[in-house]
Amino acid sequence: MEKWRSSQRILRNYTKTLISHRFNTNHNNSPNISSSGKQGFYTNSYDLRDYRGRSSTTVNQNCRNLQYRLFGSTTFEVQRNPSFATLNSEDVNRFKEMLGEKNVIEDEDRLATANIDWMRKYKGFSKLLLQPKSTQEVSEILKYCNSRCLAVVPQGGNTGLVGGSVPVFDEVIINIGSMNNIISLDKVSGILVCEAGCILENLDSFLLNEGFIMPLDLGAKGSCQIGGNVSTNAGGLRYVRYGSLHGSILGLEVVQANGTVLDMLGTIRKDSTGYDLKQLFIGSEGSLGIITKVSILTPPRLSSTNLAFLACKDFFSCQKLLSESKRKLGEVLSAFEFLDNQSMDMVLTYLDGVRNPLPPSVHNFYVLIETTGSNETHDKEKLEAFLLHSMESGLISDGVVAQDINQASSFWRIREGITEALMKAGAVYKYDLSLPVEKMYNLVEKMRIRLGQRAKVLGYGHLGDANLHLNISTPEF
């Protein structure tokens, strides 16, 4: 315990009293740190849902009424706002009339899954999960909840890492997963219209046959839903090539908290009529309404993909390699990811069957460069010439190009497996930061000096988009 408390002291400027009481099985209203290693943590992001009032309230036996969270250097008690109603059997019956019995979930096992996030760090106490099948049903649910003052939390694939998709107290969970129909695809322009509950990977598979791809790709693609991707303004691996969802989303259908349906489901490439209100819903995490349909521009699927796994001696070389690749690989560059050797060690230690494709040596950084283009020969030539030049100029100390799809998958497994490895290693403090590339890694180094032997500090992420994942791993919180 001493070690843990020491690290807590060192970390206090960053995580002071971030500990929530949600995982503590004994009721305890004091803000003291519990001895359990399984507590939930809040990130210091600002939560937009207004459910968390600050007026005092009593502890409820059915759900926690009190949480602690940090804004800047100040700790707030976050209490269940007593002006919100508590679910009763009449409410449940009304929902059953609206949605049919089987779409109103009270089963404890199924609720347990929906009440907890993928990382098992955040846990809510919802007693009800609703599965609407149409925009109309979402509208009816919200209208009713609004009239009854019942709090809700929208949930997509529940793959987020910051607790945004699980309840805090006893909110009704509205899961959009049953709304998973593809509505249309314009095969000339690549404009796809679908319901918000479509799983990202399913959309990509559908598009594969039609000659298009989704403009975004992320590790959680097998479970995450497009509505959640849009609500959280998800970035991911293709961002460097296809850019932000603010550019690719052409239209949205959204249901506001009072049940009003906003039809902003444009399906044209350019629309400069009036204010572009749909933009406000991209990244607003459900706080302005629940996204029910999405219209998105999908780029054509190109025939040739190549992947190189490279080693660099320092972060400056990674930066320089990025600048050079943007110029020399230019139009074919489709991903530029990096990880430090601490991230590599983590993956090699905790994931079965993963190996470093480069011979054992002291490499400080690893870079994945993916190219996607329309001509295999051209793309290979470009990549090989670029790698040769980078090797000669000393930017790369070692490297290997995937010879087939299996090898490419094994390279991606290293980068995409870091989160899973971190989970297996114990407790993890996750930070997702946008910074100027040249200053990005300073933060990791400073944190490493601060923490010394007490924790492992990992830096990896989307270097091509100046997006760092700073992760701090300790045996327990």
The footprint of a copy of itself (CB under 8 A) covers 45-46, 48, 186-190, 211, 232-233, 235, 239, 243-244, 246-248, 267-277, 279-280, 282-284, 288, 300, 302, 319, 322-323, 326-332, 372-375, 378, 381-382, 434-438, 462, 465-467
Q: How many CB atoms lie within 10 A of CB 225?
A: 30
Q: Are 159 and 144 contacting, i.e. CB atoms less than 8 angstroms apart?
A: no
Closer of 45 and 57 to a copy of itself (Cβ): 45
CB of 225 to a copy of itself, least distance (A): 17
Burial call 181-209: b when 16+ CB within 10 Å, e when fewer: eeeebeeeebbbbbbbbbbbbbbbebbee
Give the helix ranges, DSSP H, for 262-401: 315-328, 341-350, 376-392
CB of 431 to a copy of itself, least distance (A): 13
Closer of 400 and 466 to a copy of itself (Cβ): 466
Closer of 47 and 91 to a copy of itself (Cβ): 47
CA contacts within 13 A on the Cβ side of 294: 34
Closer of 419 and 474 to a copy of itself (Cβ): 419
Q: How many CB atoms lie within 10 A of CB 352?
A: 4
The pair of structure tokens assigned to 406 is 């299996």
Q: How far apart are CA 447 and CA 469, in angstroms?
A: 13
Closer of 167 and 266 to a copy of itself (Cβ): 266
In three-state secondary structure terms, 400 is strand
CB of 382 to a copy of itself, least distance (A): 6
CB of 191 to a copy of itself, least distance (A): 8
Closer of 331 and 445 to a copy of itself (Cβ): 331
Closer of 146 and 279 to a copy of itself (Cβ): 279
CA-wise closest residue to 357 among 399, 389, 419: 399
Q: How far apart are CA 292 and CA 133, in angstroms?
A: 10
Q: Are 123 and 41 contacting, i.e. CB atoms less than 8 angstroms apart?
A: no
Say which amino acid occupies 262. Answer: L
Q: Are 291 and 231 contacting, i.e. CB atoms less than 8 angstroms apart?
A: yes
Q: Which residues lie below 8 Å from residue 427, measured CB to CB, with a gap of 6+?
A: 37, 473, 474, 475, 476, 477
CB of 194 to a copy of itself, least distance (A): 17
Closer of 315 and 429 to a copy of itself (Cβ): 315
User: What is the dihedral sign for C-alpha 193, 195, 196, 202?
Assistant: negative
Closer of 319 and 343 to a copy of itself (Cβ): 319
The pair of structure tokens assigned to 37 is 């290693």
The pair of structure tokens assigned to 474 is 């300790």
CB of 401 to a copy of itself, least distance (A): 18
Closer of 397 and 467 to a copy of itself (Cβ): 467
Q: Are 462 and 416 contacting, i.e. CB atoms less than 8 angstroms apart?
A: no
Q: How many CB atoms lie within 10 A of CB 376?
A: 12
Distance of alpha carbon 113 from its chain centroid, rounded? 18
